[in-house]
Amino acid sequence: MAVIIHTKGDLTLFTIKNYVVVKDLEEAYVLNQKRSNVVLGGIAWLKMGERNIQNAIDLSGLGLDKIEETEEGFEIGSMVTLRELETNTALNSYFNGVIAKSTEHIVGVQFRNCATVGGSIFSRFGFSDILTCLLALDAYVELYKGGVIPLREFADMPKDNDILVKVIIKKDRREVSYLTHRRTATDIPVIACTVARVNHKWQVVLGARPSKAKLLLDKEQMLSNNPTEEEINKFIEYIKENIQFGSNMRASAEFRKHLAGVLCKRGIKEITERKGL
Ligand SMILES: Cc1cc2nc3c(=O)[nH]c(=O)nc-3n(C[C@H](O)[C@H](O)[C@H](O)COP(=O)(O)OP(=O)(O)OC[C@H]3O[C@@H](n4cnc5c(N)ncnc54)[C@H](O)[C@@H]3O)c2cc1C
């Protein structure tokens, strides 16, 4: 029997013909090869569309809703909600708590209790806070068929019909800062910026440009470990020349470019001025 989701008066947002709670990842993968079938995350994004779904693929019986800490890092199942990412104490005791920081402006707590890591990372939205944050960490995705690949590689891959099983983040001693500019506290970002210092080298990720988050490594070591104002200004010019910004209803390319410089400088200073490091 068809399941019709009505969430706005009489407006039908999407229709599901069969709802399949899969017994394993192979079943999910096989079903997902058909265009009319769809994997469900928290359906926070899917419900905004008007798709006719033949088989809705529910992964909730596969134990993918856990964050597991290992010696080397964290393994985050694709069905973990954004709220769990935000509130997980072990995870947020690392990376200067930036994972929580990258989730806290996303709509509201009830929304974050539904939206999942799998839906967020697999979608690779241009405005994604989560992708902007995780790209600055030593992060990987585990795909059912594609295996474990660096998130940096996955971010630039075209979308296919694989299943995102988990996100893996390796523990290291990198220091990180996450900042965004938004028109209102819970709107999508006008620009998002993650700065990281790892082994005395710097890197910056800029998201919501408005296109997909882009990583820039300070390969030429323009920034020293504790950079001077002059070094920072030079690096910001380098960013502005090497990263593309665009215009949309939220902001112009020029404004985004300016904000990128401001947030990048603040991020670097936040890291160098932290006490007790
Ligand atoms: C109104 C609104 C405001 C938002 N604001 C922000 C914001 O400010 N910042 C931000 O970062 N994000 C924002 N988001 C995005 C949100 O955080 C989630 O990323 C989004 O809802 C997708 O997650 P989901 O679990 O709801 O996925 P779903 O809607 O269930 O699925 C999204 C897509 O991912 C696919 N998918 C889901 N799980 C898997 C899997 N395991 N393997 C393969 N494919 C999968 C689905 O088939 C579908 O194509 C916003 C979303 C909405 C609707």
pLDDT in tens, 93-104: 999 999 999 999
Which CATH number applies to 175-272?
3.30.390.50
Ligand 1 mean position to 62 CA, how many Å? 19
For the chain, give the number of residues: 277
What pLDDT does 109 receive?
Answer: 97
Report whether pLDDT(276) > 60. Answer: no
42 contacts 118 by C-beta, under 8 angstroms: no
Residues 6+ apart with CB under 8 A from 82: 103, 106, 111, 112, 115, 116, 117, 120, 130
**What does the pLDDT look like over 169-191, one tens digit per residue?**
999 989 999 999 999 999 999 99
Report whether pLDDT(29) > 80. Answer: yes
Q: Could you confirm whether domain 67-170 is CATH 3.30.465.10?
A: yes
3-state secondary structure of 75: strand
The more confidently predicted of residues 275 and 83 is: 83
Report whether pLDDT(125) > 60. Answer: yes
Q: For residues 231 and 87, what is the distance between their CA atoms, to the nearest angstrom?
A: 36
**What does the pLDDT look like over 225-252, one tens digit per residue?**
999 999 999 999 999 999 999 999 999 9
Location of each CATH 3.30.390.50 domain in the chain: 175-272
Q: For residues 271 and 47, what is the distance between their CA atoms, to the nearest angstrom?
A: 39
What pLDDT does 82 receive?
Answer: 98
Nearest CA to ligand 1 atom 37: 119
Residues 6+ apart with CB under 8 A from 243: 206, 209, 214, 216, 260
138 contacts 172 by C-beta, under 8 angstroms: yes
Nearest to 272 by CA among 218, 236, 223: 223
What pLDDT does 12 receive?
Answer: 63
Nearest to 135 by CA among 111, 157, 153, 119: 153
Cβ of 22 below 6 Å from ligand 1: no
Count other Cβ atoms within 10 Å, centred on residue 139. Answer: 22
What pLDDT does 14 receive?
Answer: 85
Location of each CATH 3.30.465.10 domain in the chain: 67-170
The more confidently predicted of residues 163 and 275 is: 163
Ligand 1 mean position to 122 CA, how many Å? 8
Confidence of residue 50 (pLDDT cuts 50, 70, 90): confident
What pLDDT does 11 receive?
Answer: 64
Q: For residues 62 and 90, what is the distance between their CA atoms, to the nearest angstrom?
A: 23
Ligand 1 mean position to 261 CA, how many Å? 28
Nearest CA to ligand 1 atom 1: 107
What pLDDT does 3 receive?
Answer: 61
Ligand 1 mean position to 115 CA, how many Å? 6
Which atom of ligand 1 is nearest the CA belonging to 78? 41
